[in-house]
Amino acid sequence: MRKLILITLTNLTLCCGAIAAQSDYEAAFLAAKENPTDKAKVEAFAKLLPKHGDRYVVDGDVLVTDRQLVGYLMEHSAPAAPVKGELIVNIADGHLDKWGRDERILTYQIDTAGFGDKTDMVRKNLAAAAKEWTNACGKKCGIRFQEHTGEGEPTFKVRKVSGAPFIAAAFFPSTAPIDRVLEVDDQYFTTTFDKVGVFRHELGHVLGYRHEHIQGIPGCKQEGGERKAITPYDGKSVMHYLCGGAGNPKLTLSSQDKDGHTQNYSTD
């Protein structure tokens, strides 16, 4: 019984600490998004964000610079569109955040020196995830991922990191070319999540898709900003975290993901 009481008290302490921390975060976020040009308020919010190198982690697995953080807050200051769809497209500068018709051969360069003997696993899993997104729409959309082997710069780089507050983190199409990096932490190699599924999820961000659970799902953290929902919600989206009684640890593309992706990229 004593052990049970100790565990309960410990959990209560952790719970209350987490609630207080969340309350502080929400207050700082609200102040910063209402005053995104107020340097002090932005810095106060930034101090509460997980940081990886010189970038901040927002929405769980998206990396932003100091400059992008201000833009992120400005976007969040706009009224959030009601979410009624499963596959949700990010909005940047008032437009759907997606690759233009002449930008859809997406090349990536894997940091083989960084991944070492894990390179083959990363290459195989990333190729498998990319193939599923490509096949979801085919020639109608023109999306194709391929490993960069020639000269010149790839569309994005794939790098190994250590000690990051995420398993993997990506970017949106509107991200500046220099910041287009898919980062993979050491946790990736031991996670119980499906490893191809993790890349399916991150490539969803690369294609412009937001988290499915960003607004109005009990038990899931809300996210602001502008977006457009394009398919009905069913909680099985590859872009849905495991929260609110929904999500899938295999992070597979649902039929509605495929329909929404086709709808988004088959029209310009």
Domain of residue 128, CATH code: 3.40.390.10
Report pLDDT for 23: 66
Please report whether residue 233 resides in a domain.
yes
Calculate mean pLDDT across residues 79-98. Answer: 66
The parent domain of residue 244 ranges over 88-265
**Are 124 and 102 in a shared domain?**
yes
Which is higher by pLDDT, 232 or 259? 259
**What distance in Å separates the CA atoms of residue 156 and residue 217, rounded to the nearest whole number?**
32
**Is there a contact between 208 and 182 (Cβ–Cβ < 8 Å)?**
no
Which is higher by pLDDT, 77 or 63? 63
Of the chain, the percentage scoring pLDDT greater than 70 comes to 69
**Are 70 and 139 in a shared domain?**
no
Terminal-to-terminal C-alpha distance of the chain: 64
Give residue 150's identity as a one-letter amino acid code: G
Per-residue model confidence as pLDDT tens digits over 158-173: 999 999 888 899 999 9
Please report whether residue 83 resides in a domain.
no
**Are 15 and 119 in a shared domain?**
no
Please report whether residue 221 resides in a domain.
yes
Please report whether residue 82 resides in a domain.
no
Give how far Cα 268 sits from Cα of 43, 97, 138, 145, Å.
38, 12, 15, 19
What is the rounded average pLDDT for all residues in the chain?
Answer: 75
Please report whether residue 111 resides in a domain.
yes
**Are 240 and 136 in a shared domain?**
yes
Q: Which pLDDT band, with edges at 50, 70 and 90, does 102 fall under?
A: very high
**Is there a contact between 104 and 233 (Cβ–Cβ < 8 Å)?**
no
Q: Can you give the pTM of this predicted structure?
A: 0.68
**Are 201 and 236 in a shared domain?**
yes
**Are 214 and 92 in a shared domain?**
yes
**Are 118 and 239 in a shared domain?**
yes
Give residue 153's identity as a one-letter amino acid code: E
**What distance in Å separates the CA atoms of residue 13 and residue 159, rounded to the nearest whole number?**
37
Please report whether residue 225 resides in a domain.
yes
Nearest alpha carbon to residue 51 among 132, 155, 150, 161 = 161
Report pLDDT for 86: 46
Largest CA distance in the chain: 67
Of the chain, the percentage scoring pLDDT greater than 90 comes to 37
**What distance in Å separates the CA atoms of residue 256 and residue 259, rounded to the nearest whole number?**
5
Which is higher by pLDDT, 148 or 229? 148
**What distance in Å separates the CA atoms of residue 254 and residue 262, rounded to the nearest whole number?**
12
Range of weakest confidence among 68-82, 151-165, 219-233: 219-233
**Are 60 and 93 in a shared domain?**
no
Chosen domain end from 46, 77, 108? 77
**Are 229 and 182 in a shared domain?**
yes
Chosen domain end from 77, 112, 143? 77
Range of weakest confidence among 83-87, 157-161, 184-188, 222-226: 222-226
Calculate mean pLDDT across residues 228-249. Answer: 51
Whether the predicted pLDDT of 235 surpasses 60? no
Chosen domain end from 33, 49, 77? 77
Report pLDDT for 118: 98
**Are 40 and 165 in a shared domain?**
no
Report pLDDT for 78: 53
Give the chain's domain count.
2
**Are 110 and 224 in a shared domain?**
yes
Residue 92, number of CB atoms within 10 A of its CB: 18
Per-residue model confidence as pLDDT tens digits over 12-31: 333 334 434 556 767 777 78
**Are 15 and 101 in a shared domain?**
no
